[in-house]
Amino acid sequence: MWLHLFSVNTGGVRVPSLKNHMIQNNDFLKTYFSESYLPPHQRIKWYYRILRFLIVYPAMMLMVISVLDNRSNDEAYTDCLYRDQCSSYCQADVFPDTTCKNMPNVSLKYNGNTYKKLYKYPAINTDEYRHCKDRLDNNPDYPWSDSDHRQWRVHTCFRSCRYPGEVDDNFDEDTREECAKSTDSFGHDYYEFDLWCVDPDDSCEKPEWWDETCSGGDLCLSFAVIWFGILIANFGQVLIECSLYYTLNITYKPTEIERKMNPVKNEQRFTLEEEPPCDKVLKKCFSELIIAFSSIVVVLALIVSMIAEYQYGRPATVWVEWVIAMAIDQAKSLLIQPFLWWFIVRRCGRIPPSFGVWKDEQVMPGITDESYLNELRGIVARFLETKPAAFFMIGIVFFYAIFILCSLSLDTYYSGNQGAQDFFDYVDKILITYFMAEIVVRYVGSGIIYFLNLWNFIDFAVVLVSFVFMWMGQSITGIAVLRLLRLIRVIIVMRRVSESKKRLLKLRNQNQSVSSNVARAMDLLEEIINEKSLTRATKQDVAWVLEHVKSRKLYTSSINQNQVDESSAEVKAWKNFIINDYEDFQGSHIVQGQKNLGDKILKRSRQSSVDAKMFETQKYVEKVNGVFTSPSMDREPLEPEKLTEIDETLEKINDWNWDLMKFASVTGELCFPILCLKLFLKYDVYKSFDDINHDKWLNYLSALYMGYTFQNPYHRPEHILDTVHATHYFYKTAGFETLLTTQDIVIGFVAAFIHDYEHPGLTNQFLIRTKHPKAIRYSDMSPLEEHHVAAAFKLMHSDNEFDIFDFVVDEASKRLIRKMIIYMVIHTDLTYHFEMVNGIQAKILSDQFPKDTVEDRLDIMTFALHCADICKPARSWFIYRMWIDNMMEEFFLQGKMEKELGIPVSAFMDEESTNKERVQLTYIDYIVKESLDILNIISPSPDYENVIQRDLIESLNLNRRNLQKKIDGEVKF
């Protein structure tokens, strides 16, 4: 209540006696006594006062203390959560059994802990089992409790047996049997064992605070928790009660005192039926929502924290600390409230107490008064306008300008001197802290109006970000970001010096989205570069910023920009240690083992059809053909006549309307390896990689083919062949191969072949809504695409005969290949569509795109694969019509499944209400058309005669017109 009187105009005439002040501000007393000191519209009924008391005082205090007690030891709490994880893994692995087998008669004594609630996790060859098995290595390393000389009670699993002759001193009493020896197919001995895992319901290590004193058992006492709990709960209580007073003060009709203050309104005879002002309705509704939301959060947080306390914590400790906190808080209130009454309510004793019960006549004279808060703000504002304060602040600004300029100019020289670097860092922190304090003081003097000024708000944003980054440290924020902030601070200081009342140059807020505002950001930076008052050095720095905005590298490491001796082995080691794994997309990279054929590899020149034939030497053609005609235990060799027939189907593969279905029917189960190995001949892959193993590619692609679901109407092997052909068309016919290396082309085709591996014929949204194991495993983040690429790599590494990249000799190249494939496949998820479109558009704005870097080439490959995946509406009408039926059939199958499960049917999935043609028309307009337009822009025209426009976009427009005619009823098909 004292804070309310501090901020309202009538506070000067509503000064209560000390007794009444204690009643108004004591949680128990203001609940018991009626609120006669408030205006009638702000008073609440006794049952609401009880509810308010319960939520904002005991419930909030208990919630805060229980949360603090639970969070006092995150490590123990986190380790105990692995029990729930392994229990879930076990239940999934033993499915269709509903639960894992409990072992009530088994107990383990390990480092002072006795575990009796155990269950059996059988040895199953799954990643989940191995994950829980890996937890065994952590058992001896957990911390020990100093109070009772035992290890923390956070263990997850144990071996169900002991190795022959093993003596594990960690077991106080080892009753386990010896493990049975097994022999694998190579004659090697190994031990296979089940896991005995701790039930999640078993007790866990209890959290402790550093100042706790325990009296035995679970009863401990921490005054740190008590005092933190009091402070946090008091802060939450103030927020909720202030919101409540604000809400109650908003009335739809004039109050009685307002009628008396303005008789004209009284004569207008406002009625209940009169519609209240819209702004008041919105304010009151929003305030009520905040109060309701806050109350619900308090109650729910209390319930959750107490459940966790009873399961993992010490409920007795929480209850004792809560009682003590309540007692201390009441004692604190008795001691502090008299001071608040004298300093705040009575305004340092200047106003005598004379208010008891609300009377309009007594309050009306104070309506035009100034609140004590505004009075103090006026004092602060006048102080800031005094000459000493103004000269002091201008002097700090001049000093900071000189300091920052010196820091930038001497950065190269003192970067190796730790003492000088520490000096500059400490001075910078002190000055930024001063500017932060100055903004706080100015806010106190001006209120929220201070931030309504755009320049003041930007000043606050930049200083706040600089303040946070300075105390976080350069290693957290990144060199590029700190350099950008230092540049901005230089411009800020120049603005302060040149215009005393304007503190900042008009800069964009640094929290904008690059993808949606990149053009505006570049325009602003170019305006700064053209500013005549800037020095040449500053303009160069701004140009550096502009270049990084264009290339989307603001948040990547700029270690390569530092003037250090990169020939040093130590420097190279540290650079490789701290660089982000994905930042090597920015540089050029050649796979080790690839022959360097000059421009044919690093930047492929266009080849005529005659040149391409020359590259397809008879040596490599015979080698590829020999893979399929040689006898094998797993398959029948192809006859020469069959191989000739296959070659005839591939003659027009460079054309957009290549007969894919004929090829699929002729090649059968060998369609994937035949298409891939034959395409490699067209790109001179075998000349670049002599050691490529054709048999492994045949084995892997054949196994990959069997992993696609033939029952799927749409996501079946023919869809993959279509995507691979479209990728080839973009590379070869549309000329994108001139922008790529041979390594890139191999990666691009592999990504195309695996991008829908093991697709179930359902959407990501369906998996997420039904809580499918794949959605749970990948945290609802592109579960299908995550599974496609993970399963494909798992297959690749499951057998040495599937290791298609064995010709890559170094691990760095293998990691790069893997990352590029993962990146491409994940981005086939349509949720990344607009992100990719915006990213490509941002790069197109740069006149240097595409550059010969891994980053730019990967962007081209990823976008080309995305277009290849969605470009069926650009096929000939006959082919496209077939794919429409297949796509919609798969949609409708999912819709039927959703109906059977009793969940809402997804968009486009209800066969009874969905118009196929409208769905496809929207798909073309919303997704496909824009993608192909951008692909056409970045294609190497005019050398390739604008083939995307000729073959794809014109066909797309024709198909769109056919769909529109069908919708309008002009044609039937």
Measured distance CA(281)–CA(964) in Å, rounded: 46
Beta strands in 207-345 (DSSP E): 213-214, 220-221
Which residues, including other chains, have CB under 8 Å from residue 641's CB and lie 6 or more apart?
Answer: none
Q: Is 161 helix (H, G, I), strand (E, B) or coil?
A: strand
Return the residue matching tokens 């027939």.
645
Task: Say if CB 774 and CB 757 are below 8 A apart.
Answer: no
Using the CB atoms, write b or e for 139-176: b if 16+ within 10 Å: beebeeeeeeebbbbbbbbbbbbbeeeeeeeeeeeeeb
Measured distance CA(679)–CA(688) in Å, rounded: 14
Q: Is 234 helix (H, G, I), strand (E, B) or coil?
A: helix
Task: Say if CB 753 and CB 704 are below 8 A apart.
Answer: yes
- Burial label for 477, CB within 10 Å (0-12, 13-18, 19+), is middle
Using the CB atoms, write b or e for 21-58: b if 16+ within 10 Å: bbbbbbbeebbeeebebbbeebeeeeeebeebbebbbb
Strands 189-191 and 195-198: unpaired
The answer to whether 715 is a known catalytic residue is yes
Helix 618-629 with 694-706: angle, nearest 10 deg? 50
Return the residue matching tokens 């100034």.
370
Name the catalytic one among 21, 155, 589, 715: 715
Q: Is 683 helix (H, G, I), strand (E, B) or coil?
A: coil
Q: What are phi and psi of 102, to 5 degrees?
A: -75, 155
Q: Is 325 helix (H, G, I), strand (E, B) or coil?
A: helix
Q: Which two tokens stand for residue 413?
A: 């020289």
Is 920 a known ligand-binding residue? Answer: yes
Q: Is 178 helix (H, G, I), strand (E, B) or coil?
A: strand
Is 716 a known ligand-binding residue? Answer: yes
Closest CA to 116 of 58, 20, 198: 198
Is 719 a known ligand-binding residue? Answer: yes
Measured distance CA(703)–CA(58) in Å, rounded: 64
Is 715 a known ligand-binding residue? Answer: yes
Beta strands in 206-259 (DSSP E): 213-214, 220-221
DSSP structure class, residue 972: -
Which residues, including other chains, have CB under 8 Å from residue 888's CB and lie 6 or more apart?
Answer: 908, 914, 916, 919
Question: Within 13 Å of residue 479, how many CA atoms lie on the same side as its CB?
Answer: 11
Which residues, including other chains, have CB under 8 Å from residue 662's CB and lie 6 or more apart?
Answer: 649
3-state secondary structure 811-842: HHHHHHHHHHHHHHHHCCCHHHHHHHHHHHHH
Measured distance CA(37)–CA(14) in Å, rounded: 8
Task: Say if CB 356 and CB 256 are below 8 A apart.
Answer: no
Is 755 a known ligand-binding residue? Answer: yes
Query: Residues comprising the binding site for AMP?
Result: 715-719, 756, 869, 920
Query: Residues comprising the binding site?
Result: 715-719, 755-756, 869, 920
Catalytic annotation, residues: 715
Query: Residues comprising the binding site for Zn(2+)?
Result: 719, 755-756, 869
